[in-house]
Amino acid sequence: MSALITPEMVDLSMDAQSKDDAIAKMVQLLVFAGRVTDGELLLKDVLARETQMQTGIEGGIGIPHARSDAVSEPSLAFAKSPRGVDFGSADGLADLIFLIAVPSGSDADHMKIIAALARRLIHASFKDGLRQARTPQEVAVLITKEVLG
């Protein structure tokens, strides 16, 4: 299995006009990284998941996610949004956005990644590290170390 996240799956200055725009840009990161066979299908699957339940969590975090036939291996894209994006959290806009995409039928991988990420996101040091990271490489290393242990 490849790395869950690589530097090319990181955008440190996403300028998204909406949640759907942010998700579309993050799907493109995964397409360019060769993790997705059909960007339109993955986008449709993530947006369908978003209609079921908001994916914003407290602390400026958005975690859109989906299982999709378009995904070739479990992947995580990350973006920082200086403007912020509304993912439906009661405390406001998300500036840290994680897109989790796993192949259909990978329920265990899907839940493992979400749970591991959620456990790290309760720590201010992890969020601060992401907010202070200056390069995609720093972000990929931090997420790999913190989330995958």
Question: Residue 148: what pLDDT?
Answer: 81
Domain ranges of the chain: 7-148
Question: Residue 107: what pLDDT?
Answer: 73
Q: What is the pTM of this model?
A: 0.95
Distance CA(85)–CA(97), nearest Å, equals 9
Structure tokens, 22: 């942010």
Question: Residue 112: what pLDDT?
Answer: 87
Q: Read off the pLDDT of residues 89-123 as tens digits, 9 standing for 90 and up.
A: 999 999 999 999 999 987 787 788 889 998 999 99
Distance CA(125)–CA(45), nearest Å, equals 32
Report the catalytic residues.
Answer: 65
Distance CA(101)–CA(93), nearest Å, equals 22
Residue 100: φ, ψ to 5°? -100, 125
Residue 77: φ, ψ to 5°? -100, 150
- Whether 42 and 71 have beta carbons less than 8 Å apart is answered as yes
Question: Residue 110: what pLDDT?
Answer: 76
Question: Residue 92: what pLDDT?
Answer: 93
Distance CA(86)–CA(105), nearest Å, equals 29
> Does residue 1 carry a pLDDT above 70?
no
Where residue 87 falls among pLDDT bands split at 50, 70, 90? Answer: very high
- Whether 79 and 25 have beta carbons less than 8 Å apart is answered as yes
- Fold held by 7-148: Mannitol-specific EII; Chain A (3.40.930)
Q: Read off the pLDDT of residues 10-64 as tens digits, 9 standing for 90 and up.
A: 999 999 999 999 999 999 999 999 999 999 999 999 999 999 988 999 999 999 9
> Does residue 144 carry a pLDDT above 60?
yes
